Chain A
Amino acid sequence: MLLPAEIKQVTIGVHKFYQDRLIKDLHEAGIMEIRNIRDSESDVSEILKEGYRSPELGKYAEYILKINTILEYLEEVREDSPGILRELFSPTVSLKNPVLRRDHAQLFREVEDLLGEAGDAIRIKDDLSLMRERCGYICEEQESLTLLLPFDFETDYLGESEYLYIVAVQVDPASYEHLADEIERQLGDEVVLIKEMVDTQYVTIIATLRDNQNTLDNLLKDPLFTRVETDNLRENSVNSKENPVNSANPGGKPSEIIALLSDELNNLKECQTRLNGELFAIDKKWGAKLTILREELEIGKEQLNVLSAFGRTKDAVIIEGWIAAGDVDALESLCEETTDGHVFYEFKEPSSNPDGVPVKYDNPSWLQPFEFLTSMFSRPKYDEVDPTLFIGPILIVYFGLMLGDAVYGLVILIMAYLLYRGAGRVSKSVHDLSIILMGAGGATIVFGVMQGGYMGDFLPRFMGITPPFIVFNPLDDPISFLQIALVIGIIQINLGIVVAIYQNLRRKNYYDIIYGQIPWFFIQPSAAILLFLFFGWADYGSSVTMAACVGGIIGIVMLFKKEGPLGFFSLTGFLGDWLSYARLLALALATGGIAMTVNILTEMVSGAHPAGVILAIFIFIGGQTFNFALQSLGAFVHSLRLQFVEFFGQFYVGGGREFMPFSAGRVVTELVEEDR
């Protein structure tokens, strides 16, 4: 609890006959971190053959890719996902599906069969994509043809013919004269212009001799003119059996083509609806099975990938890694059972360098939810104290002190419980957070009662009730609260110093204890006595004063011996750390002060006019909700900061590597053992 779990270095040797079975069992047990034998300082790596790569790996990757693609398509047609509130407070808890052990060939056959059934999803999705593309082009073509409706001519005439070149152009009325002048200047009388007003623009048909094609094209490059294109469909047919009408522009007058294209569009939409329905049916029938097989494929792939980390001789396989000391017996039993005793294993203490050893927390279940807070700063090193034991309970107390409102605490407690019963059942992180919040809510209720905070001064202001059990009210007696805050601060800082001493004792780092931590036990009492004398708050005898002076000087000299001139900053830093605990008072005052102000505003608005009551209710609910949210966030962050900066600053560095066991991590499946 005070230190991370004890870790052993483990080496396993087994005949290759048992390799696959042992990998599967290790994977399911999830108790051992496997490291690459060639990356480690292994005693045996010299005599080993090259790493092994399974030929089945490619097949696994291919199947996972295919299933991922299908599932991605199927997810698009699923009904809307439940709202965030339902996800948080009433999520659907999916049961794990029992699966049997299978070898690669059996699993591949099953996947092939399933892909045969559900593989249609890929073809349907491809068809849907093409149809969507075709619909887009049809719409573009219809827009172009709509511009040509006033002319009532065969659209086939547009473009080049044996002697003529005909184009349609859209031009702003203000620029039409410019267009006509340019055409006359460059093409003379070898041109025919017909214009019609469509909406706010002129659509102009320009016919000229084919010899003038380049001249006209160059002229129409001017950004003032927009050509009306009617060949959007020529290169974009949907060659699908689902869509019989999939030709290029069929030709004819604009109105006739628009009608034909509308029919095609309707047909395409019907096809899309039908195909989406088919995808939906596939999802209903095979979606769950696909998810199960994907998980099994991923597990199988991990089991093959890990082979490259093993060492091997002609007949033996060597596995190296890390295991928590508490799991050693379980690993021994697993190896013996899996290999019928044809195995050897060796457990060693890690080397003296703690940097390479993975770190696994070793806390009781009630403390485990707080581990993520430690990880948020940095995981402890293997030989370092795990601060979770200290920061968990202290954070809860600080949160309660800072928020200090019984009603706010009750709201947090209820929400946390609902979260615990909701998303907490399906997500470990939510489960952990909900437990922390329940603790924080409980502490806030207790300190809220002690501080007399019930949505600020709601009780005395609106109900005429004086809250009972008040021990210290930050608004009435801030100095007492400040004293409490500073006492709490000095206790926690000294706790940090004591932990630092313990840690340095374990590391036999006596120099740091003598010149890093011990000086503070000289400086603190000496400074306290001198300050009390200086301000006239107390009168000690000359011997006590002399002792304080000597003690202070000894402490400072010891500190400066270790840190040099920077010892000065250690002194100011210590003072800063201590005074920083004044934030306990600051945040408690802010919660009560803001809530009180909301209540004052509510009272003021409701008293101004009878109709003001409705507005006052909104102000009250909005203001209290805002204060609750802001102060809850502030209390959490500032509680955390006091741990990370002021407390950790005394002893904690962190930087450990997470223990990552070789684990199957099943989410939707559960392995059911058959008799072997």
Chain B
Amino acid sequence: MVIGIGTVLVVIGAGLAVGMSAIGAGIGVGIAGASGAGVTAVKEDKFGVSLVFQALPQTQGIYGLLVAILLLVSTGLLGGSGSTDVPVPVGLAAIGCGLAVGVAGLSAIGQGIAASSGISAAAEDGGSIGRSMVFSVLPETQAIYGLLVAILIMAFTGMFSGLFTATTAVGFAAIGCGFAIGFAGLSGIGQGIAASSGIGATSENEEMFGKALVFSVLPETQAIYGLLIAILIMAFTGMFTGVLTATTAVGIAAIGSGLAIGLAGLSGIGQGITASAGIMAIARNPDTMGRALIFAVMAETFAIFGLLIAILIMFGVGLMGA
């Protein structure tokens, strides 16, 4: 077996994938589990339901594990002959995969917060399980986006087929994609905080479901922007078409785009906190919905700034045909 720099980079990517997502899943499962332990001490029959809710933030860890295994398989370290060395660009792309699924996996913390409320609500009222489940699943979106980008990067750099096609530009661009969706995926924490309030408000008053859901999904916008930039980077560096004409410098510039939208996407946490308070406010006084919505969308401004700069960077370096 040949262990070159490319293989080493892939291995680091695998480590990022499983390690970062394990942090999120571990904390999320812990938060939910704490509620589960408390609830089952009083109501033993809620054990099964509590366990289902606790399992929700576990999926981020599974996504991380999945990508890590796929990366190792692609290098031949697992399940292959290992006779082919992995080019360095593909190794760089693997780090992008690790960042995408690993950092986005931290959204499990938000899901744990929501699942924790779901367990408490289910203990009070068995009829609220379905609605609580809907809220608790919301922060999963960010992790799924992370997984999606990771799989796309692997597919388009030939990691599944073994016919590696990436250039150095594509490798760096993949890291940009990883930053974009990974950090933007942290908005899942904000979404979890808002969803937690949504569960609380809905368990008190079923009619709050629709309004609380609207507030709870607000912080997802940041993740969608992150996904958009990641896909644009992939599209404009030719990953989808296979026409890999972008220069290395342009590929590195894509990291700037990824950081712009990814880090700006952290505003989703703030938005989640406001959205959570907004849900509580309209639960108390439904007439405040409009004003609460204004407060909640304010934090989104920074994500739009990030989106704007990310697009301008791509445009400026010629990724978008300038």
How many residues of chain B get a CB closer than 8 Å to chain A's CBs?
43
A residues in contact with B152, CB < 8 Å: 478, 589
- Stretch from A242-250, A304-312, A336-344, A576-584 forming part of the interface with B: A576-584
Q: Encode B179-210 as 1/0 by CB contact (under 8 A) with A.
A: 00000000000000000000000000001011
Indicate if the CB atoms of A582 and B79 lie closer than 8 Å: no
Indicate if the CB atoms of A649 and B59 lie closer than 8 Å: no
Indicate if the CB atoms of B66 and A597 lie closer than 8 Å: yes
Q: Encode B209-232 as 1/0 by CB contact (under 8 A) with A.
A: 110011001001100110110010
B289-322 interface with A by 8 A CB criterion: 294, 297, 300, 304, 320-321
A residues in contact with B225, CB < 8 Å: 576, 579
Indicate if the CB atoms of A634 and B144 lie closer than 8 Å: yes
Indicate if the CB atoms of A645 and B213 lie closer than 8 Å: yes
Indicate if the CB atoms of B228 and A579 lie closer than 8 Å: yes
From A536, A582, A648, A655, contact of B228 by CB (8 A): A582
Q: Which residue of A lies closest to B294 (CB)?
A: A566
From A634, A637, A645, contact of B214 by CB (8 A): A645
From B73, B140, B151, B235, contact of A479 by CB (8 A): B235
Q: Which residue of A lies closest to B135 (CB)?
A: A637
B residues in contact with A648, CB < 8 Å: 210
A308-359 interface with B by 8 A CB criterion: none
A557-599 interface with B by 8 A CB criterion: 566, 569, 572-573, 576, 579-580, 582-583, 585-587, 589-590, 593-594, 597
* Contacts known (A376-B131, A634-B144); A644 close to B78, Cβ less than 8 A: no
Indicate if the CB atoms of B235 and A587 lie closer than 8 Å: no
Chain B nearest CB, measured from A376 CB (Å) = 6
**Interface: A640 (CB within 8 A):** yes
Looking at A586, A630, A640, the one whose CB has the most chain B CB atoms below 10 A away is A586
Chain A nearest CB, measured from B226 CB (Å) = 10
B residues in contact with A644, CB < 8 Å: 210, 213-214
Chain B nearest CB, measured from A81 CB (Å) = 14
- Stretch from A142-150, A161-169, A547-555, A600-608 forming part of the interface with B: A600-608
**Interface: B2 (CB within 8 A):** no
Q: CA separation between A476 and B151, bound complex, in Å?
A: 11
Q: CA separation between A475 and B159, bound complex, in Å?
A: 13
**Interface: B134 (CB within 8 A):** yes
**Interface: A400 (CB within 8 A):** no
Indicate if the CB atoms of A569 and B297 lie closer than 8 Å: yes
A residues in contact with B321, CB < 8 Å: 535-536
* Majority SS at the chain B contact face: helix
B45-61 interface with A by 8 A CB criterion: 59
Q: CA separation between A630 and B59, bound complex, in Å?
A: 9
Indicate if the CB atoms of B79 and A600 lie closer than 8 Å: yes
* Contacts known (A579-B224, A600-B79, A645-B217); A377 close to B148, Cβ less than 8 A: no
B residues in contact with A597, CB < 8 Å: 66, 69-70
Q: CA separation between A655 and B209, bound complex, in Å?
A: 11
Q: CA separation between A576 and B228, bound complex, in Å?
A: 10
**Interface: A638 (CB within 8 A):** yes
Indicate if the CB atoms of B69 and A475 lie closer than 8 Å: no
Sort chain A's interface into a size bin. Answer: 35 or more
* Contacts known (A587-B144, A590-B144, A600-B73); A378 close to B207, Cβ less than 8 A: yes
* Majority SS at the chain A contact face: helix
A residues in contact with B209, CB < 8 Å: 376-378
Chain B nearest CB, measured from A390 CB (Å) = 16
* Contacts known (A576-B221, A597-B70, A600-B73); A641 close to B144, Cβ less than 8 A: no
Looking at B70, B131, B134, B320, the one whose CB has the most chain A CB atoms below 10 A away is B134
Chain A nearest CB, measured from B23 CB (Å) = 21
From B214, B227, B300, contact of A569 by CB (8 A): B300
Q: CA separation between A478 and B155, bound complex, in Å?
A: 10
Indicate if the CB atoms of B297 and A590 lie closer than 8 Å: no
Q: CA separation between A655 and B130, bound complex, in Å?
A: 20
**Interface: A107 (CB within 8 A):** no
Chain A nearest CB, measured from B229 CB (Å) = 11
From A582, A601, A638, A640, contact of B224 by CB (8 A): A582
B residues in contact with A671, CB < 8 Å: none
**Interface: B240 (CB within 8 A):** yes
* Contacts known (A594-B66, A600-B79); A378 close to B144, Cβ less than 8 A: no
* Contacts known (A482-B231, A645-B217); A377 close to B73, Cβ less than 8 A: no
* Contacts known (A479-B235, A638-B141); A654 close to B151, Cβ less than 8 A: no
Q: Encode B91-102 as 1/0 by CB contact (under 8 A) with A.
A: 000000000000
**Interface: B283 (CB within 8 A):** no
Q: Which residue of A lies closest to B155 (CB)?
A: A475
Indicate if the CB atoms of A607 and B300 lie closer than 8 Å: no
Indicate if the CB atoms of A641 and B69 lie closer than 8 Å: no
Indicate if the CB atoms of A637 and B73 lie closer than 8 Å: no
**Interface: A614 (CB within 8 A):** no
**Interface: A99 (CB within 8 A):** no
| 26 intermolecular pairs with C-beta atoms under 8 Å apart | A376-B130, A376-B131, A476-B155, A482-B231, A534-B320, A535-B320, A535-B321, A569-B297, A572-B300, A572-B304, A576-B221, A576-B225, A579-B225, A579-B228, A582-B231, A583-B144, A585-B148, A586-B145, A590-B147, A593-B151, A597-B70, A604-B73, A604-B78, A633-B137, A634-B140, A644-B214
Known contacts A376-B131, A586-B148, A590-B144; 7 additional CB pairs below 8 A are A377-B209, A378-B210, A476-B155, A580-B224, A589-B148, A594-B66, A630-B59
**Residues of B participating in the A interface, judged by any CB pair closer than 8 Å:** 59, 66, 69-70, 73, 78-79, 130-131, 133-134, 137-138, 140-141, 144-145, 147-148, 151-152, 155, 207, 209-210, 213-214, 217, 220-221, 224-225, 227-228, 231, 235, 240, 294, 297, 300, 304, 320-321
